[in-house]
Amino acid sequence: MEELDIRQIFSYLRRHFWLIVSIVLVAASLSLTVTYFFITPQYEASATLYVFNNSNRSDTTISSSDITTSQKLIATYSVIMQCDNVINKVIETTGLEYTPGQIRKMFSGSSVNNTEVMKITIKSEDPVDAMIIANAFIDVAPEEILRVIKAGAVEILDRAVVPSKPSSPNMVKNVAVGVVLGLIVAIAFVILYELFNTKVRTEENLLRVVKAPIIGYIPDLKLYQDEDKKGQIYG
């Protein structure tokens, strides 16, 4: 197996340019086909809540410590919302036929830009179900959170709406990944093919194989019979 230099690699790639293009196109087509026909679209519906550290809303004074505590409470509220008690109430409210485990996998809760605003997101194959479940969570949450923590409060900011387009899969991203992987596979295949190909095409190829000087050239008369072809046999 011969050693490679940059010029050789580029020479191999130029020689097999159309093969590389073909492999990349096949990889892109496969990625597009798999993404479009075999991956189920997922939809996300989101609702937002404002989290208060102080459940007494008559106190209009908010300190920096209240804000910090409210931010920390969001993680606690997110855990509470994934408890069976809350999820069972959500299922009862919606009337949808999901198990607690399925609802739990759909749910995610997080702080919006490290503020006191909590975002509840539901991911589902059905966009309408995603909206219904997200809104059920924010309807059930205030009472359940107060019952468990006995302090703090939440207020609904925005209710969820039916998502107009799927959040995943990302068609462009998947095709781009397919193109990159196809290019890597094509380049690797071409280089390995050339490395293990024992056919001698040039004087340099022969010198690398035999490690001896070339003492003469014998014209290949068959090639000269065709004006478009010419060649030599080295020896």
Same domain membership, residue 113 and residue 56: yes
**More confident position, 113 or 124:** 124
Provide the pLDDT confidence category of residue 89 given band limits of 50, 70 and 90.
Answer: very high
Q: Do the domain assignments include residue 88?
A: yes
| Beta-carbon contacts of residue 57 (< 8 Å; ≥ 6 apart) | 153
Same domain membership, residue 153 and residue 54: yes
Same domain membership, residue 49 and residue 108: yes
Same domain membership, residue 181 and residue 139: no
**Quick one: pLDDT at residue 26?**
97
Q: Do the domain assignments include residue 225?
A: yes
pLDDT by residue (tens digit) across 39-74? 999 999 999 999 877 554 555 555 556 566 667 788
Same domain membership, residue 117 and residue 79: yes
Q: Do the domain assignments include residue 164?
A: no
H or E element at residue 114: none
Question: Of 104, 135, 158, which marks where a domain is finished?
Answer: 158
Domain extent at residue 222: 199-235
**More confident position, 56 or 20:** 20
pLDDT at 7 over 70: yes
**Quick one: pLDDT at residue 64?**
54
Look at the chain and count its residues. Answer: 235
Other Cβ atoms less than 10 A from the Cβ of 90: the count is 27
Q: Do the domain assignments include residue 54?
A: yes
pLDDT by residue (tens digit) across 93-122? 999 999 999 999 999 999 898 888 999 999
Same domain membership, residue 151 and residue 52: yes
pLDDT at 135 over 90: yes
Distance CA 13, CA 91 (A): 59
Same domain membership, residue 55 and residue 77: yes
| H-assigned helices in 64-202 | 64-81, 84-94, 100-106, 127-149, 171-196
Residue-by-residue DSSP string for 13-71? HHHTHHHHHHHHHHHHHHHHHHHHHTS--BEEEEEEEEEES-S-TT-----HHHHHHHH
pLDDT by residue (tens digit) across 145-166? 888 887 677 889 999 999 999 9
| Beta-carbon contacts of residue 167 (< 8 Å; ≥ 6 apart) | 42, 43, 44, 123
**Quick one: pLDDT at residue 209?**
61
Same domain membership, residue 49 and residue 25: no
pLDDT by residue (tens digit) across 162-200? 999 999 999 999 999 999 999 999 999 999 988 887 676
Tell me how far the alpha carbon of residue 101 is from its chain's centroid: 24
Total of domains in the chain: 3
State the pTM of this model: 0.71
Same domain membership, residue 81 and residue 19: no
Same domain membership, residue 25 and residue 129: no
- Contact between 119 and 112 under an 8 Å Cβ cutoff? The reply is yes
Letter for the amino acid at 185? V
Same domain membership, residue 109 and residue 16: no
Half-sphere exposure of residue 23: CA atoms within 13 angstroms, side-chain side: 16
**Quick one: pLDDT at residue 134?**
97
- Contact between 151 and 87 under an 8 Å Cβ cutoff? The reply is no
Same domain membership, residue 60 and residue 29: no
Q: Do the domain assignments include residue 67?
A: yes
**Quick one: pLDDT at residue 154?**
85
Q: Do the domain assignments include residue 163?
A: no
